[in-house]
Amino acid sequence: MDDFIAARSQMALSLGFHIIYSCIGMVMPVFMAISHYKWIKTKDPVYKNITIAWSKGVAIFFATGAVSGTMLSFELGLLWPGFMKHAGPIFGMPFSLEGVAFFIEAIALGFFLYGWNRLNTWFHWVTGIVVGISGIASGILVVSANSWMNSPSGFDFVNGKYLNIDPLKAMFNEAWFSESLHMTIAAFSATGFAVAGIHALMIYRNRNVHFHSKAFKIAIIFGAAAAILQPFSGDISAKGAAKRQPAKLAAMEAYFHTQPYSPLVIGGIPDTVAKRVNYGLEIPGLLSFLVHDNFKQQVNGLDKIPFKDQPPVAVTHYAFQIMVGFGMLMMLIGVLYFVALWKKKSWFDKGWFLKMFIYVTPAGFIALEAGWTVTEVGRQPWIIQGVMRTSEAVTPMPGIQYSFYLFTFIYFTLSIFVIFLLKRQIQMVPKLYDR
């Protein structure tokens, strides 16, 4: 394997796993705090049990998220020293602040996990809230660092030199809001659906139905609401990409030829040699409408971009289709949930209704991974859009493929462990929490 491809694969793998751990680690504390609040208010012990059960999940995911995040902070330098040498001082601001937020999260988590029966009830509750808030803040900060790579600002690039650096301007680059918003909502919908799906499975199997029903409800309300909001934030993101990264947008849509009444292509197999999409469903004018709010105005296609500056079209297009597809599915199920909640309470006892949530347990995370694939692959061949190529940033050390194999092994083992531990947590619910 080529060193450059190995370095990219290792980075993709590390990010891919870290994203799952960290999303769960930042959203679960919010669920935990809601359930904790309900316990304090209603004194119904089932809420306390849910809080404790979830807090153990949070501890596991926080630990794996923290170590995989530590790895990433080193991998940025280990794999991309050429990038970090120049980018570090420019986009370091959100990372420094993230360090602070993460530190606060670790402190608050220490209080929360070990604070049962030792701290004042409300102080204890607040520490849980702080875990959630600082976790979300960390996520937003890291994503804004990534958004700088898509929409670099806060410096002048003159003759290969990075001058007049302004870290605050770099942090609040044009893409930071849309990207952070999209990601935060995605974290809620993915985690909400995943957690709800597991509890739905337990209800379906008729185990501790009271416990799991309450847990299901907290998780799915967040998941469903986020899934319904997500398309709106996606629209903001796509308009931003059209403006700042036309190559990315064109690759997402596999849109080769610039034309008025630009069509939206759904599905299909892009043929990059013949520059067309086979078997896709083409809706004329829809892409124009989504980008410019009118059906006629043309959107720039891949033909406007020099070949050497184009991202891999097929991967970006497929990933985008997967993200949108699963996103729509979740939105639909989210709507059905609210219909059930307000009008059709009887659905909750129906097998098909529960099965639906069981089947979509991983959907949010699939969409999330696909979305990150769009962001990262769609930015190629650039590591800093329009400024530095990924190939200029890679480490000179040969033999990166061995490090890639090692990381692959570690991440898969780690994930198997996490799944194993969660399974045992769930298995023990009747013993620990049925009193």
Partner 1 sequence: MLYVVILFLFAAITLYFLLGGADFGAGIIELFTSTDNKHRTRKTSYQAIGPIWEANHMWLIITVVILFVGFPTIYSEMCIYLHIPLLIMLMGIIARGTAFAFRNYDAIKDEKTQGFYNHMFVYSSFVTPMFLGIIAGSALSGQIDPNARNFADAYIFSWLNWFSVSVGLFTVALCGFLAAIYLVGECPEVYDVKRFIRKAKAMNIAAVILGALVFVASGIEKVHLANWIFGNMISLAAVIAATLSLVLLWFIISDSKNKQWIRVLAAFQVSMILISVGHTRFPRFVIFKDGSSMSLLTDHATGKSIDDLGIGLLVGSLFILPALGYLYYSFKKKAPGQIADDH
By CB under 8 A, what part of segment 399-418 binds partner 1? 399, 403, 406, 410, 414, 417
Its sign, for the CA torsion 109, 110, 111, 113, is positive
**Is there binding between residue 208 and partner 1 (CB under 8 A)?**
no
Give the nearer residue to partner 1 in terms of CB position, either 165 or 314.
Answer: 165
> Which one-letter DSSP state was computed for residue 310?
P
Task: Tell me, residue by residue from 94 to 123, as one string, x for binding to partner 1 by CB under 8 A and - for no binding.
Answer: -xxx-xx-xxx-xxxxxx-xxxxxxx----
CA distance 187 to 182: 9
User: Which residue carries 């991309």 as its tokens?
Assistant: 80
Task: Please give the structure tokens belonging to residue 240.
Answer: 């931003």
- The residues in 59-88 that bind partner 1, with binding defined as CB under 8 A, are 59-60, 62-64, 66-71, 73-74, 76-78, 81-82, 84-88
- The residues in 352-381 that bind partner 1, with binding defined as CB under 8 A, are none
Contacting range for partner 1; rule: CB under 8 A; set: 160-168, 226-234, 323-331, 361-369? 160-168
Residue 93 CB, nearest approach to partner 1 (Å): 6
**Is there binding between residue 435 and partner 1 (CB under 8 A)?**
no
Residue 64 CB, nearest approach to partner 1 (Å): 6
Contact 364/190 with Cβ under 8 angstroms? yes
Residue 339 CB, nearest approach to partner 1 (Å): 36
- The residues in 43-62 that bind partner 1, with binding defined as CB under 8 A, are 52, 55-56, 59-60, 62
Give the nearer residue to partner 1 in terms of CB position, either 116 or 232.
Answer: 116
Task: Tell me, residue by residue from 161 to 180, as one string, x for binding to partner 1 by CB under 8 A and - for no binding.
Answer: ----xxxx------------
Contact 376/225 with Cβ under 8 angstroms? no
Contact 190/197 with Cβ under 8 angstroms? no
**Is there binding between residue 336 and partner 1 (CB under 8 A)?**
no
Give the nearer residue to partner 1 in terms of CB position, either 260 or 430.
Answer: 430
Give the nearer residue to partner 1 in terms of CB position, either 298 or 395.
Answer: 395
Q: Is cis: bond before 167, omega within 30 of 0?
A: no
Give the nearer residue to partner 1 in terms of CB position, either 298 or 425.
Answer: 425
Residues facing 158 on adjacent strands: 161
Distances (CA, A) of 256 to 116, 251, 271, 301: 59, 8, 10, 5
CA distance 183 to 222: 14
Size of the site for partner 1 (CB under 8 A): 71
Cβ neighbours of 83 (radius 10 Å): 22
Give the nearer residue to partner 1 in terms of CB position, either 21 or 337.
Answer: 21
Cβ neighbours of residue 174 closer than 8 Å, sequence gap 6 or more: 151, 153, 240, 244
**Is there binding between residue 340 and partner 1 (CB under 8 A)?**
no
Q: Among 260, 309, 428, 430, which residue interacts with partner 1 (rule: CB under 8 A)?
A: 428
Residue 146 CB, nearest approach to partner 1 (Å): 15
* CA-closest candidate to residue 215, choices 223, 386, 88: 223
Give the nearer residue to partner 1 in terms of CB position, either 5 or 67.
Answer: 67
Count of H-run helices and E-run strands, the chain: 15, 8
Task: Please give the structure tokens belonging to residue 368.
Answer: 């999330």
Give the nearer residue to partner 1 in terms of CB position, either 56 or 276.
Answer: 56
Q: CA-based angle 399:386:140, to the nearest 5?
A: 80
Residue 5 CB, nearest approach to partner 1 (Å): 18
Which of helix, strand or coil describes residue 49? helix
285 phi/psi in degrees, rounded to 5 = 80, -15
- The residues in 235-264 that bind partner 1, with binding defined as CB under 8 A, are none
CA distance 217 to 321: 29
